[in-house]
Structure 1
Amino acid sequence: MEVAILGECMVELSQQPDGHYKMGFGGDTLNTAIYLSRSGGRCDYFTAIGDDLYSAQMKAEWQKEGVGVNNVITRAGANSGLYIIENDDHGERHFHYWRDTAPARELLTIAPDIFTILMDYPLLFLTGITLSIYSDADRETLFAFLKRYRLNGGRVVFDNNYRPRNWHSQADAIHAYQSMMENTDIALISLEDEIALYGEHQVEACMERWISKGVCELVVKNGEQGCTAYHQQQYVFVPLPNVVKPLDTTAAGDSFNGAYLAARMQGKPLEGCITDAQHCAGVVIMHKGAIIDKGIPLQPGDLA
């Protein structure tokens, strides 16, 4: 089983302990794709990049990671987006973006056949950041496709990653998220983003909002407080196996998603999927940058 992942990847500059910056690449959906692949899953990435040197290097690195790139569109004369990560004393990250003219924003317009191709995938993963990069018209086109996709047997996986600066207003974001909820089968969401968007601090109320829209599988990620999940009309709480002080939380949720989906594709039970995801995220947050060195084991039983 392969997962189609829809989103944007950018050039990343991450602050190092000595104050210098290391160049890499990242973006929530691409991070998920890589950690899914490293966890034994298979996925194809759907995005658009520029024809600049850095874009070519990014695509080559994705291939080395085992991420499918046959559906990556190259836009002539364009440059991919750029972001800088700075970390405070608590390991929390602060982002600065240069992405307004990135070709990924136009993917649904410049590659209209993408929807026909996506129909062949059993799972489609996207995030709130994916929604935010598209125009209002392209988002409505996407929602209409998701309805057809689900009627055709496909299942939609959504992470609620919310970045206020990516939206014209909070009201616009809430409107888009409401439409997305109605077209989601599996939601892997963070309470932090629910608080930022809705002001909702209670896990139970947050879960009810998603379940009431028809989401049949839900995981609420709540940092050190562990995860609360809903599946097959059952609720389960899974605490963190270890609580650590993070060095960099950049891809905590993204790596969780990748490991969760890989475990799910391998047929593991819900709690096993969450435990694998927690282990993976726990390793990633102890290293700088979104994509850690490939040789670092992501699970307790893995060999370096």
Structure 2
Amino acid sequence: MPKITVVGSISTDFVVETDKRPSMGETVEGKSFTTSFGGKGANQAVASARLGGEVHMLGAVGTDIFGEELLNNLRENHIFVNGVERVTHPSGSAFITLFAQDNSIIYVPGANGEYTPEKLNDFVATHSIIQNSDLVMVQNETPEETVQELIQLCEELKVPLLLNPAPARSLNQELIEKVAFITPNETEFDVLFPGEEMETVLRTFPNKLIITLGSKGAVYYDGEEIQEVPSTKVSNVVDTTGAGDVFNGAFAFAYSSGLKIKDSIQFANIAAGLSIQKVGAQTGAPTLEQMKEHEDFEKAWHFKQ
């Protein structure tokens, strides 16, 4: 069973589905409204845990009712939460509009913005969870200085780190060199490497830079040639929210279980494809049993439970 630590955001998603996206100053009628559990960190943690990983969550929630519900949800998904701080700020939230089988999101960090480098260092000094991890994951919904501190810590501890640079923000090449994997989508790639050709940058970071391409799959450079790993075919797209998080969580689980990079990407593509057939960033994350039923699942893949 792979040991995965996720440092990241834990939030509540407020989701509106509409047949018309409002213009500035316009009011339109929505089709439905739901709330669900989210936050990129929590989404990725749930994705890894559903597949069978031993997952520890580090981050912060508020002392409000949302914070308690967020913690209970993580526990119900068999995620260890002794690394989650309770702070006085409101718990994080995201306001999601579903339109034409796609989404737009306004993210409010709240308590997530209070997970400081000091809190991270205090936890590392008194616990050995990160040191004993097979892989650590982090995203950009965590404060920039905390992400940078985590990258430095993982390098010192010789623990591989996967950085999912979402939402997009600039990052210097020195820090990119220190991570094991960085997984931007096309938009995030343009922010990280403005004006640069994708093929050139891929060749600069062999077996490190994995660019997700939505329905086209993902691409990386294996040191010899650029590998394009196609997505799985999905006939019934319901909600793309969280698909990238499921991809990252599934990749982390597969790679930490011993699969090679290309196989791990293929595995993650299947998981992401299954996830978008249900509503909600976390509810669509598949179990390993559901993965094994998929036609693209390779019988040669073996996972210890």
**Shared fold per TM-score greater than 0.5:** yes
State the match for 2:181 in structure 1.
Answer: 186
State the match for 1:162 in structure 2.
Answer: 167
Q: 1:206 and 1:73, CA in 2 relative to 1: closer, same or farther beyond 3 A?
A: same
Within 2, Cα distance between the matches of 1:125 and 1:31?
A: 11
Amino acid in the other structure paired with 2:34:
K
Is contact 2:97-2:105 (8 Å) kept? yes
Q: 133, 138, 143: which is aligned to 2:148?
A: 143
State the match for 1:299 in structure 2.
Answer: 291
Amino acid in the other structure paired with 1:261:
A
Within 2, Cα distance between the matches of 1:111 and 1:196?
A: 27
Q: Would you say 1:70 and 2:69 are equivalent positions?
A: no
State the match for 1:286 in structure 2.
Answer: 277
Q: Secondary structure at the match of 2:45?
A: helix
Q: Secondary structure at the match of 1:195?
A: helix
State the match for 1:115 in structure 2.
Answer: 124
Shift of 1:201: 7.4
Comparing 195-204 with 49-58, which one deviates more in the overlay?
195-204
State the match for 2:63 in structure 1.
Answer: 51
Shift of 1:292: 1.6
Q: Secondary structure at the match of 1:272?
A: helix
1:246-290 CA distance string (max 9 Å, x none): 332211111011111111222223332122111110111122221
Is contact 1:157-1:186 (8 Å) kept? yes
Is contact 1:143-1:183 (8 Å) kept? no
TM-score by length of 2: 0.80
Comparing 263-272 with 1-10, which one deviates more in the overlay?
263-272
Shift of 1:47: 0.5
Is contact 1:49-1:102 (8 Å) kept? yes
Amino acid in the other structure paired with 2:161:
V
State the match for 2:233 in structure 1.
Answer: 242
Shift of 1:82: 1.6
Shift of 1:226: 2.1
Amino acid in the other structure paired with 2:94:
Y
Is contact 1:47-1:104 (8 Å) kept? no
Which structure features the higher share of helix residues? 1
1:154-202 CA distance string (max 9 Å, x none): 1111112134xxxxxxxxx32x353431321122232232124544574
What pairs with 1:203-218 in structure 2 (closer than 5 Å)?
203-209=198-204, 211=205, 216-218=207-209
1:38-83 CA distance string (max 9 Å, x none): 11222100001111111101101101101111111112x3320221
State the match for 2:22 in structure 1.
Answer: none
Shift of 1:291: 1.4
Within 2, Cα distance between the matches of 1:293 and 1:157?
A: 22
Q: Would you say 1:9 and 2:10 are equivalent positions?
A: yes
Q: 1:228 and 1:293, CA in 2 relative to 1: closer, same or farther beyond 3 A?
A: closer
Amino acid in the other structure paired with 2:293:
G
Is contact 1:191-1:222 (8 Å) kept? yes
State the match for 2:242 in structure 1.
Answer: 251
Amino acid in the other structure paired with 2:291:
Q
Q: Would you say 1:92 and 2:102 are equivalent positions?
A: yes
| Number of corresponding residues | 278
**Unmatched tracts of structure 2, length 5 or more:** 19-29, 295-305
TM-score by length of 1: 0.80
Q: 1:294 and 1:231, CA in 2 relative to 1: closer, same or farther beyond 3 A?
A: closer
**Unmatched tracts of structure 1, length 5 or more:** 164-172
Comparing 270-279 with 45-54, which one deviates more in the overlay?
270-279
State the match for 2:114 in structure 1.
Answer: 105
Within 1, Cα distance between the matches of 2:112 and 2:229?
A: 39
Amino acid in the other structure paired with 2:245:
D
Instruction: Give identity over the alignment, percent.
Output: 19
State the match for 1:170 in structure 2.
Answer: none
Within 1, Cα distance between the matches of 2:180 and 2:274?
A: 28
Within 2, Cα distance between the matches of 1:6 and 1:183?
A: 17
Within 2, Cα distance between the matches of 1:73 and 1:42?
A: 20
Q: Secondary structure at the match of 2:31?
A: coil
Q: 1:224 and 1:200, CA in 2 relative to 1: closer, same or farther beyond 3 A?
A: farther
Shift of 1:108: 2.7
Comparing 187-196 with 34-43, which one deviates more in the overlay?
187-196
Q: Secondary structure at the match of 2:79?
A: coil
